[in-house]
Amino acid sequence: MHIPAIPFIHDAGLAAALERRINDKTKPQGSLGVLERLARQIGLIQRSEHPAVARPAIVVCAGDHGVTAEGVSAYPQSVTWQMVENFLAGGAAINVFAQQNGCALHIVDTGVNHDFGARAGLVDCKVAPGTRNFCEQPAMTQEQCERALQSGMQFAASLDCDVLGFGEMGIGNTTAAAAIMAAITGAPARDCVGAGTGLDETGIARKREVVERALQLHANAREPLAVLAAFGGFEIAFIAGAMLGGAQLRKVLLVDGFIVTSALLVAASLQPALLDYCVFSHCSDEAGHRRMLDHLKARPLMQLDLRLGEGTGSALALPLLRSATAFLERMATFSSASVSGKND
Ligand SMILES: O=C(O)c1ccc[n+]([C@@H]2O[C@H](COP(=O)([O-])O)[C@@H](O)[C@H]2O)c1
Ligand SMILES: Cc1cc2nc[nH]c2cc1C
């Protein structure tokens, strides 16, 4: 399938102009730390000395996982569709945080095992009613995998936004994400598998054994798209596609927790330039996320012990992105405020 080229964000002239603007502000050089790094990055992505976070959007992608048949989650599969109803009714954490932060929210059914009918507010990109159990066969066919990626790309291209955040909902998807992580990074299953929604030690040991078994079964799946098809899920593939589609249109990509980052592992293996577009909102409490971020050489903005998903970390990071663009736009300069610059 055709994977779009991602424009390189580097531009020496613009980088120097942004640097000058940042250093002209009334503060010791470098003292706004990570906000300065963000201002530079958003400026380069938007090709502007005046970057802005004016129209953020978060896409929450829901999908079900056949591997739940192996007893890998603390919750039943039905919670996936029930939580989609909760998103549509406005009652989930992501509804609260998105509204609080002036962020558009899109809910996408990429492959939930439930018939929602035609529903206002629900984007229907259902590939199938859940993936297959990857302990027995590949989670998706190659055709299903490409369809999910393609609809993610198209959906991202249809959005009018400058910052594109990602969230997900899918019982069992930390098992899929852990298997993807192991297959792509080469880390052993024990470093990739965690408690997910809240497994106890016995549950985590079973989940680890499930991932180890699946890695053996799909040992031939080495290319990123083969890994994605082997372990799923539809929401992960859709997010990977939406990341590629968003970066192609120079949108800032806001990465959430363990599952969203597993989608990035796949997408960045296809197009490494994608990483320049990513802002890593937080380090999840899911064991394995820190290692995943380290593998990507990513520095998350926050560590709040979140392990919810839904894009909650992305929504909570928006004020920091806005502060980064606001200081650049609104702070006085040494000359405009008649403040003395550094000695010599
Ligand atoms: O974002 C994370 O880091 C994260 C960590 C643990 C769990 N989750 C959420 O919990 C669900 C998956 O957990 P599990 O145990 O069913 O694999 C799924 O709906 C995710 O949104 C999300
Ligand atoms: C209730 C619930 C809400 C969630 N939101 C994202 N993953 C979730 C998992 C559960 C179990």
Q: Which of 136, 146, 310, 329 is catalytic?
A: 310
12 CA to centre of ligand 1 in angstroms: 40
What's the CA-to-centroid distance between 251 and ligand 1, angstroms? 25
Q: Is the dihedral of CA 201, 113, 254, 139 positive or negative?
A: positive
Q: Which SS3 state, helix, strand or coil, does residue 145 take?
A: helix
> What is the residue whose two structure tokens read 């984007």?
123
Q: 87 vs 77, 119, 192, 235, 317, CA distance in Å?
A: 16, 12, 28, 16, 20
Cα–Cα dist 207/68, whole Å: 10
Q: Which amino acid is at 180?
A: I
Position 1 scores a pLDDT of 87
Ligand nearest to the CA of 286: 1
Query: Amino acid letter at 89?
Result: A
Q: Which of 169, 256, 306 to mutate to test the pocket of ligand 2 (most atoms within 8 A of CB)?
A: 169
**Contact between residue 63 and residue 231 where contact means Cβ atoms under 8 Å apart:** no
Radius of gyration of the chain (CA): 20
List the beta bridge partners of residue 236. none
Q: The domain 56-320 is classified under which CATH number: 3.50.50.60, 3.40.50.10210, 3.20.20.140, 3.10.105.10?
A: 3.40.50.10210
CB-based contacts of 313: which residues, under 8 Å, 6+ apart? 256, 257, 281, 282, 284, 302, 304, 306
CA distance 177 to 207: 12
pLDDT of residue 53: 98
Residues with CB under 6 A from ligand 1: 73-75, 168-175, 196-197, 256-259, 284, 286, 289, 307-310
> Could you confirm whether 70 is annotated as catalytic?
no
Quick check: pTM over 0.95?
yes
- What is the predicted pLDDT for the residue at 344? 81
| Closest listed residue to residue 39, CA positions, set 343, 321, 248 | 321
Tokens representing residue 332 in the block: 């006085």
| CA separation for the pair 190, 206 (Å, rounded) | 11
pLDDT tens across the length of the chain (344 residues): 899 899 999 999 999 999 999 999 999 999 999 999 999 999 999 999 999 999 999 999 999 999 999 999 999 999 999 999 999 999 999 999 999 999 999 999 999 999 999 999 999 999 999 999 999 999 999 999 999 999 999 999 999 999 999 999 999 999 999 999 999 999 999 999 999 999 999 999 999 999 999 999 999 999 999 999 999 999 999 999 999 999 999 999 999 999 999 999 999 999 999 999 999 999 999 999 999 999 999 999 999 999 999 999 999 999 999 999 999 999 999 999 999 999 98
CA 175 to CA 74: how far, in whole Å? 12
Which atom of ligand 1 has the smallest separation from the CA of 174? 17
